[in-house]
Amino acid sequence: MSGFGLNIELDVEESAVADSAGLGFEWFDVASRAALTEPRAALEGLGPVPASPRFVDPEAWNPAGAAVRLSGTLEVSDQRARPFDATSMSWLESRMPSRPERVDLTFAMFAGEEPDSPNVWWPSLYAHRPGKSPGWLRIGAYVAESLFLDERHGSAAQRLWLELLRSFAERCNPGFGQIEYGYDTFGSTALEKSLSPDLPRHERSPRYTVAESRKYLRGYSWLTVLPAELAEQLGGVAALSASGAFAEVSALATGGVWLQATADYRAYGAEQVGRVHAALAGVLRPGELVRRDTAELGRPPHRLVFTSAGEGA
């Protein structure tokens, strides 16, 4: 089973929403209540310490049944990390209007006090403002791919995160969204990671490309949120549905299109990648792609069609 993580991301243009600070705080509040229910409640003094994260069997990470210690951390930009407790969410709400560059929330559990003690982590939540893309906010989560692949719990885990992301996508006329491997903490897509290093940084780094989300599609994946401007160039919902590349094509309430390649993440393979590429190639960021041996480097694969981006298959 994969040890890689998935980046569940939505890129929001702050001018498209009434209160971007409020939206950022809501992402942490709503997502932590829905997906991180047990550790949040325990550290707020409202529930017991769980034996394991949701969708993870306790025996899988703590086979000896050792006593466990729960930890939560809230980080806001360059400030010292703050242990999560009953005051953390109100504290975060008061900080969001100052538009911090980075906010991250993590929960973990440890079985023992030794440095090499068994440990397990919940999905982490983030809200980042790319330094070279002023006026944009990336909200999302990093989730272990193993949860989506799990034979027993995979469908429920996929449904949980799809519903969470969709609930925010419907509200904010997004510039981009994805569920794809997490390649770095800046939110690079597989496409951006594969663009030739000979290209200027502003044409391939998400710190810059997020600001051009409505001009070029940043990438494509199992779940792609296509901005309204690019959807129109491709013929809209009707043409995207007719392409046969997607199990679901849905117009979002405030603009943009929700494109899910397969009903189940576990069915997304090379054939489906090719179909998605063919449907979206006309609006992808252009540039020469370089194939890299990610397996040798111990990094997640780049699930792409390796023609030059922006060209047909």
Residue-by-residue DSSP string for 157-219 = HHHHHHHHHHHHHTTS--SEEEEEE--STT---HHHHHB-TTS-GGGT-HHHHGGGTTTSB--
Residues of the chain with pLDDT under 70: 1-2, 308-313
| Whole-structure pTM value | 0.94
The confidence score (pLDDT) of residue 79 equals: 83
Output the pLDDT for position 311. Answer: 53
pLDDT at residue 1, as a whole number: 46
Which pLDDT value is given to residue 312?
Answer: 47
Per residue in 88-147, pLDDT tens? Answer: 999 999 999 999 999 999 999 999 888 889 999 999 999 999 999 999 999 999 999 999
Tally of CB atoms within 10 A around 247: 14
Cβ distance 230 to 217 under 8 Å?
yes
Instruction: Determine the pLDDT at residue 296.
Output: 74
- Residue-level pLDDT at 313: 40
Q: How far is CA 152 from CA 135, 155, 157, 159, 238, in A?
A: 41, 8, 10, 13, 35
